[in-house]
Amino acid sequence: MSGGQVRRTFVVEADGGSRGNPGPAGYGAVVKDAASGGTLRETAEFIGRATNNVAEYRGLVAGLRAAHELDSDAAVLVRMDSKLVVEQMSGRWKIKHPDMRPLAAEAAAVFPPDAVSYEWIPREENKHADRLANEAMDAGKRGARWEPDASRAELDTGPGAGRSGSGTGRGGSTAGRTGSGAAGGTGSAATAPSSAADDGPGTAGTAAPAARPGWGPDLGTPTTFVLLRHGETPLTPEKRFSGSGGSDPELSAVGRRQAAAAAEALAARGTVQAVVASPLRRCQETAAAVADRLGLSVRTDEGLRETDFGAWEGLTFAEVRERHPEDLDAWLASAGARPTGGGESFEEVARRVAVARDKLLARYAGRTVLLVTHVTPVKTLARLALGAPAEALFRMELSAGSLSAVAYYADGNASLRLLNDTGHLRP
């Protein structure tokens, strides 16, 4: 990906079924734009005699390959109603069946591992892919190929559909849209015109799209990330490096009061619909205080953790200057330089945070989400939204317990709405 591009984010919904298990089987998959929810590509195929699980895996492979053809550098959220496939591809369940191991390996090889995440959804939310699979099986029963131009899958399962879809080979038959060949490669495929909405901010050096002058069209409800820096720990007032490679301190008494104050302020606003936090203890404790007040649960995302400061963990800036002066100078001069002892560079952190951001944008499109995280991730999200260079990280102040906010629009642009608000912490 070139430095001037922004990373696209796709949602892949896939399904497969067998009328007999094993029996006549088919799959369906749809690639959607994460920001707008618009359909970019559909694919389906009758695969002969197979089991439900094999058909589901074939649908997954075809969906990932369709997304890869659209943009090989994209981030992808896969949503399926197959608990088996989701858990196995997420690495939580072993793949024991010999027919599924090569298909799982095939799916895993389409994109880099850190570009794809998996989410189980109820069958009711997977109607589009379900209908495509049934269309493919219906075509196979007639001795024909599934034809994209004849498909009614999107019309029959969209928000304005007049009737609900029937179950995949686990239940009924339907009608059909974008044709593909075998899971090994796509054949004819109906592709929606690509637009700026397909793009989202990406890697460390990637600038946000240029803002358009004047008033633009109504882009609908943006996805808003409210960014809460965790409350103070015993290390915070001493200004010590405290990243993800150190002692993982808990909140101090002051930090707990800051978390409670943030919780009250956010409850008064009444806009937060989900809470996601860094795995580090100080963020988990801060997030728990807010989530309890809002009646929400906390989801953990590894991508939101603080920089690993290597051998500098627990030291003050002056102590690092005294012990590692050359390494510190290099770190201050270049976002690609790592702290002493093999920590993370700011470029590496930015790539990690950008991947987490893209996946969260796909998961929570159009919603307001509280991200409880640390100094570097918050500053990184702010600078990526502004298209600012890496050195901007050193030109922002971010207090413990402060609130910031970034809104992401369907055209790929982002707007920094708030930075370092500490009004709720004042007596």
Judge whether 306 counts as a catalytic residue.
yes
Of 374, 361, 367, 355, the closest CA to residue 413 belongs to 361
What is the C-alpha to C-alpha distance for residues 290 and 414, in angstroms, rounded to an integer?
Answer: 25
Q: How far is CA 297 from CA 160, 373, 409, in A?
A: 31, 16, 26
Are the C-beta atoms of residues 203 and 350 closer than 8 Å to each other?
yes
What is the C-alpha to C-alpha distance for residues 291 and 298, in angstroms, rounded to an integer?
Answer: 7
Is residue 325 classed exposed, middle or buried when 0-12, 13-18 and 19+ CB atoms within 10 A define those classes? Answer: exposed
Of 117, 44, 118, the closest CA to residue 80 belongs to 118
What is the C-alpha to C-alpha distance for residues 250 and 259, in angstroms, rounded to an integer?
Answer: 12
Catalytic residue, chosen from 56, 232, 306, 313, is: 306
Give, in degrees to the nearest 5, the angle at Cα 59 between 54 and 65: 125
- Going 110 to 360 to 386 to 303, the CA torsion angle's sign is negative
Catalytic residue, chosen from 128, 230, 324, 374, is: 230
Count of C-beta atoms within a 10 Å radius of residue 347? 17
Which of the residues are catalytic?
230, 306
